Every structure is written in structure tokens, then in C-alpha cells.
A = this chain, B = another copy of it.
């Protein structure tokens, strides 16, 4: 590495993710004037517009707030009124008995990513480890390693993609500080089942006792509201006391670029107040605070419903379309990704073959496992239905599953 450069950060910046590689490939084609249709399913950047309540809220705050109120510094944990609005919404949906949340349990952050960064900075020490469940959102690895912690990959149960409790238990070491879960899941669309979460919680509680240390469950929930077929995503703090929830409105309100998220530190968390203060410290030291205009907007939009019907329609188009051709796809319970078993074992080779037909699908090695590709269906309906002939040709190239 060049002198004066942090090699880890360089690797994060220069190391091409599969998603980025696909993007650049696609851009090159466009620049070279290649006429092949490109069906870009690479990234989770919703084309579904933000709900009308969001633009109404923006107009309202622009009209009613002074420049100082709109654009001035906010409290370091975010405006009180916004945190109160979010707490009210959470209590309405998830509050019961002693499980109620207040503004003092919430910190507004730059998206779920900022929330996760701040949480890992605050609640881990260098040399500790965090467990992720494959397949997993690949950025977790960076968020963990940036704080000099080890990222330990543990496979989920094959086919169901539910957490494998025995495998997680076997991976827990005296240095384990955190397990990161993500339900509904990116990339599989799986919702974790209540009984699996119960087992996970029981096992973690026992491990906390055995090891005499806190083990946090970081629940990354950007897709919490995007669920189908009457499924309900379990409310993780109900299962395990030492849960920290990281949330983003990126997907539920189609605002990924606005970096609007939060950390919830439930009252049940061991050393709640210390943990919250440490989060304030990492917010201050690494600057993960949410911008002020969006804080005003969220005060008005905390309870706005996600456009589930839109995504349900999109899921039907692509799930049925690929199933009918013969593809082995995981039926998503939530989120907006389709996890497709490759027609040959090597996911890179399959992704390249797909690209010859203009299909941009992210190979599963980026998510820590083999022989799948991820399709993001938060795009236009026309792209979804228009791509089906290309998927048919891809299938015809292989003739059937070759492994």
C-alpha cells in the first residue's frame, strides 16, 4: 500500500463490489452505443415515487418554518419533536406492557447505514467480533471492519434461509460482541419466523450468562414495512432484551438518498443509558447525524404507509415470470429482492452469461455464498415484464439446471 494511506479504507474504496462492477459494465455498454437492451436489476434504488405525504410535508415545512428552523443545527441525537413522533408510531404498532419507547431511546441518523456505523463504533471494541448470517448485505463487513472488529460469517439454513441457531452458537467466541440480523432479508426476501427468533434469543441469553458478557443483537430493518401476503415482521426487541434496532425510511418512503434513519435503544438493553451516551459520542465523533430538513419532514411522516401494493405487484410479475420459465427462485415474504438459484454452480459465470442477454444480476459471492444471483425488483413494471424474454433465452442457453 502507498505510504500515508489506510489500506483497509483503500480496499473498501478501490475493491470493486460485484454490484459496482455490473454498473460500470452497463455504463460502458451505453457509452459504446451497444444497442442490446439492458435490464438493470443490480441495485435497491426504488423507482416507486415517495408517497405524496412526503412532498406535501416538504412543501409544508418550507412554507411554515424559518430558515433557522429548517436549516439550523439540531440536537446531536436529532430534534425532540421528530423523535417523539417516531416513538408514538412505534408504540402504536409495537408498544405493550413495559415495552414502550420514548424519545430518549431514539437517535436520528444518516440512514440505517449511519445507524449501524454509529452502533458498531459505540458498542464494540477493537478485536471483538460480529456475526453476520450468509447471504448478507455486503456493506456490513465494511461497517464492522472499519472499527477493527472481525466479521464472522455463519450460513443460514439452506433453502429456508432462516438463522441456523446451532451454527451461530458454534461460532460464538469469548470475543463475540454482536450478531447482525436483517428481516425481511436482503437478499433472500425471507422473514425470520417467531420460533426461530425465540430460539436465537434463548441461545444468546445462555451465552451471555456463560461468557459473562453482553451480546447485542443488531436488527437492521430497512425493509420492516415491506411485507406481503399478510406476513408480519416480528418485532425483535420483544424477543431479546439486548436488541438494538437500526432503521431507515429509504425503502418504506423511497428516500434512499436522503439518509433518513434512526437507532432505537430499547429500555430493556443492558446498560441502556451508557449505551445511549456512547451512541451520542459516536454520532459526534464520526458524524452520522441526519440532516435537519429531513428531520422536520419525518416529524410529519413517521407513520406514513409504505407502497406495499406496488411492490406486491412487481413481485408477482417477476416471481411468476421466472417460476413459469423454470427458475428455482425463493418466494419473497418481504423486501424487494428475488434470490435466484443459478443454472450452473459458478455464480460469476452465470452472472456473465446473464449479462450477455442484457440482464444485470448480482452474483451471490458478494453476499458470502455460492450459486445464486440477486435480482432487485424495485424498478418499473415494464422493465420486469420486458426482461422475461431475455430470461427465457438465458434458460434456453442452459436447457435446464446443470448442477
Contacts and interface: CB of A to CB of B under 8 A. Distances in A.
Interface of A: 1-6, 8-14, 43, 45-47, 49-50, 54-55, 58-59, 62, 66-68, 70-74, 110-111, 113-114, 117, 121-126, 139, 142-143, 145-146, 148, 177, 213-214, 216, 254-259, 270-271, 274-289, 291-295
Contact of A110 (B43, B139, B281, B289): B289
Given A142-B284, A257-B291, A271-B2, A13 B279 contact: yes
B277 A10 contact: yes
A278 B45 contact: no
B68 A47 contact: yes
Of all A-B residue pairs in the complex, the 4 with the closest CB atoms, nearest first, are: A257-B292, A13-B281, A12-B281, A13-B280
A170 to B, nearest CB: 22
Given A3-B214, A14-B274, 5 more contacts: A67-B254, A73-B257, A142-B284, A259-B291, A287-B288
Given A110-B287, A110-B289, A286-B117, A278 B5 contact: yes
Contacts of A278: 5-6, 9-10, 13
Given A121-B146, A281-B10, A284-B13, A5 B271 contact: yes
Nearest to A126: B148
Quick one: copies of this chain in the complex? Answer: 2
Contacts of A11: 281
A272 to B, nearest CB: 10
* Central interface residue in A70, A124, A126, A289, by most chain B CB within 10 Å: A70
A14 B177 contact: no
A242 B10 CA distance: 18
B110 A6 contact: no
Contacts of A58: 62
A172 to B, nearest CB: 14
A145 B286 CA distance: 10
B45 A72 contact: yes
